[in-house]
């Protein structure tokens, strides 16, 4: 049993599918990168409510309390 030659339409479809797959992988990588950067910059935050707490603000030298 011999394999039939692939139709030209299938070759075009494969090219589009590979292109779409690469675009999706790039989008996922972009979202992952942005998430990593955002998580690394949460140093002054407590929990995940995105509110700076007054007790987290460093006290300056010579300031009265």
Whole-model pTM?
A: 0.55
Spatial separation of the C-alpha atoms in residues 19 and 10, rounded to whole Å: 14
Q: Which sequence spans correspond to the domains of the chain?
A: 17-55
State the pLDDT at residue 59.
80
Give pLDDT tens digits along the chain (65 positions).
677 878 888 888 999 999 999 999 999 999 999 999 888 876 655 566 667 777 777 788 766 65
| Secondary structure in 3-state letters for 4-63 | CCCCHHHHHHHHHHHHHHHHHHHHHHHHHHHHHHHHHCCCCCCCCCCCCCHHHCCCCCCC
Question: Contact 44/54 with Cβ under 8 angstroms?
Answer: no
């Amino acid at each position: 049993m011999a394999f039939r030659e692939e139709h030209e339409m299938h070759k075009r479809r494969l090219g589009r599918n590979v292109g779409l797959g690469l675009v999706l992988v790039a989008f996922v990588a972009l979202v992952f990168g942005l998430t990593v950067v955002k998580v690394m910059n949460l140093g002054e935050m407590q929990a995940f409510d995105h509110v700076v707490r007054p007790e987290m603000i460093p006290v300056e030298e010579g300031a009265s309390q």
